[in-house]
Structure 1
Amino acid sequence: MNVELVVLDMAGTTVRDDGAVEAAFSAALEAVGVPADSPEREDVDAYVRDTMGQSKIEVFRALFPAEGVAEKANRVFESAFASRAIEVAEPLPGAEEAIDKLRAQGRRVCLSTGFSARTRDALLARLGWTELADLVVCPADAGGRGRPFPDMVLTAVLRLGITDVRAVAVAGDTGFDMLTGRRAGASVAAGVLTGAHDEATLRAHGATHVLGSVAELPGVLER
C-alpha cells in the first residue's frame, strides 16, 4: 500500500536535544523529593529510560500516584526542558532533507511529540520548523493521551484526510513510538538508532524496519 502519511517523532528522531530531556527529568525528580543520591533514584531513572517516548505526564503519574505530585513534576519538567532546548536543540543530520524528500514524494508529514503545546511551539520556533511539516501534534491535540496510545497518529489521519490507516508510516527512536504506530494500524513502524532505544527494544515493540537515522526513510518508502 502506498504510504500517504509519515508521522515522525521529534526528540531523538528528527531533533538532537543534547541531553535536555534527561536534564529536565532530573530537575523534575529533584523538585518532588527524589534527588540524585536518594535510595530510590536508580529505579526511578531506569523507569524513565525504559519509558522514553511515552507522554511525560503519564510517566510521572505512574511514578507518583499521590495527588498533585505528578502534575508538579510535569510542570518542572516542561519548564526545564523548554529553557534548555531553546539553547541547544538542533535538527539531527539529514532530518530536514528527509522531510523535504517525503513531501516531494507526495506524502504528508506530521511531526509528533509527547511535550506540551507550549514546549512544542518553543521547540519549533527554535528550529525554524513552523512551516516544515503539514501538521505538528502533541497529546493536547489528541484529547490528552500521548504514546503509547494511537491517538496522535489517528488525529493526524483525520486532520489530513488519509484514506486508510494502513497508508501510514511511523518513525521514532523508542519502543513506544513503535507500539503507537502498530496500535494505530500503520503498515510501517520504522525505528531509528539516533535516540533512546536500541534495535532489540525497537524490534520487541513492533518495528518493521530499523534504520540508522531518519535520513534513510525516504529511500525505504520509495523502494
Structure 2
Amino acid sequence: MTQLPERAINLIVLDMAGTTVADGGLVEQAFTRAAERLGVEPDLEYVRATMGESKISVFRALFGDEDFAQRANTEFERAYAELVDGGRITALPGAAEAIAELRAEGRKVVLTTGFARVTQDAILDALGWRDIADLTLCPADAGRGRPYPDLVLTALLRTGTDDVRRIAVAGDTSYDMLTGARSGAGIVAGVLTGAHDEPRLTAAGATHVLGSVAELPALVRGF
C-alpha cells in the first residue's frame, strides 16, 4: 500500500448495479415479476426513469399507500434474489481489478446500492465479493437512499475520511450524480455501462463521464 499525497482522493464510493455489476435488465425483470404477483401493472417507464433511486422510495411514489409499497418492495427483493440465485448476475469487465487497484494505492472503497441489505448481500455472495471493498452500504444503513447525500456521507463517517473534497463518487444514473454532487465530492463520475447516457449524467452533476469504472483509477490518480 502506498502513501497518498495529503490532498489526494482517498475515498471511492461506487454504485453496484450498472456501475460495477452488470444489470442485464434484471431490475426491470424483478419489477415485472413483483407487479404480476401483486396484480398490478408494472410502470416500466417510471422504473427506468428512477434507476439508482432507493427502491422503497420508488414504490412509495408509484403506489402512495405505505403498506402496499412495503409489500411491493418485499416482492421486488424476492424476485431479484431469484434472478441472482439463477446465476443472472456478473461483474462488469474491469470492475474488480479497478477496485483492487484503488485499494492497493491506499484508498478506501465503499460499495453502495439502492437495494435492501438482503439483496445487496445476495449480489456480493453470488460474485464472491464479500471482501472486495472496505465497506458496503444500503439505504437502511444511511437513513435515506439516493438522491440524498446520506450514503456518501455515511461512507465518509465510517471510514474516517476528513474532507468531502477527497471523495470520488461513481455511478451510472442521474441519481448517483445527484448524490455525489449534494455530498460535495471532489469527483462525481458517471459511467456509460448502465441506465443513463452522457447528457443525463452531466445534467445531474457529473464532473466527468467515463466509458466504464475501469477508467476510474487513472482519473483519480490525475486529480
- TM interval, shorter chain, is over 0.9
1:12 corresponds to: 18
TM-superposed CA distance for 1:90, in Å, is 1.0
- Which residue of 2 is the match for residue 114 of structure 1? 114
C-alpha separation between the residues in 2 aligned to 1:73 and 1:103?
Answer: 37
* Contact kept? 1:17, 1:85, Cα under 8 Å: no
* 2:76 alignment partner in structure 1: 77
Identity between Structure 1 and Structure 2 (%): 61
Question: How far did 1:23 drift?
Answer: 0.4
Matches within 5 A, 1:1-223: 1-35=7-41, 44-86=43-85, 87-143=87-143, 145-223=144-222
Structure 2 residue matching 1:136: 3-state secondary structure:
strand
Instruction: Give deviations 1:46-66, integer Å, cap 9, x for gaps.
Output: 211111000000000001002
The CA deviation at 1:2 is 1.3
Q: Supply the AA of the counterpart residue of 1:4.
A: N
Please report the TM-score for the alignment, with normalisation by the length of structure 2. Answer: 0.93
Q: Which amino acid aligns with 1:97?
A: E
Aligned partner of 1:207: which letter?
Answer: A
Aligned match of 2:4: none
Deviation at residue 97 of structure 1 after TM alignment: 0.4
How many Å separate the matches in 2 of 1:119 and 1:158? 24
Q: Equivalents in 2 of 1:15, 1:67: separation in Å?
A: 30
Distance in 1, Cα, partners of 2:90 & 2:29: 16
Supply the distance in 2 between the matched residues of 1:125 and 1:51 (Cα, whole angstroms). 26
Relative to the length of structure 1, the TM-score reads 0.93
Instruction: Please give the root-mean-square deviation of Cα atoms over the aligned residues, in Å.
Output: 1.1
Q: Check conservation: 1:54, 1:146, Cα contact below 8 A.
A: yes
Q: Using the alignment, how far apart are the partners of 1:80 and 1:65 within structure 2?
A: 21
Distance of 2:39 and 2:184 partners within structure 1: 40
User: Structure 2 vs 1, CA of residues 67 and 116 (structure 1 numbering), >3 Å: closer, same or farther?
Assistant: closer
Q: Give, in whole Å, the separation in 1 of the partners of 2:218 and 2:66.
A: 48
Q: Give the Cα–Cα distance (whole angstroms) in 2 for the partners of residues 66 and 17 of structure 1.
A: 28
Whether contact under 8 Å (2:60, 2:66) holds in the other structure is: no
Per the TM alignment, residue 34 of structure 1 is displaced from its structure 2 partner at its CA by 2.6
CA distances 1:47-92 after superposition (whole Å, capped 9, x unpaired): 1111100000000000100241111110110000011023211110
In structure 2, the gaps of 5 or more residues are 1-6
Please state whether the residue corresponding to 2:58 is helix, strand or coil: helix
C-alpha contact 2:23 2:194 (8 A) present in aligned 1: no
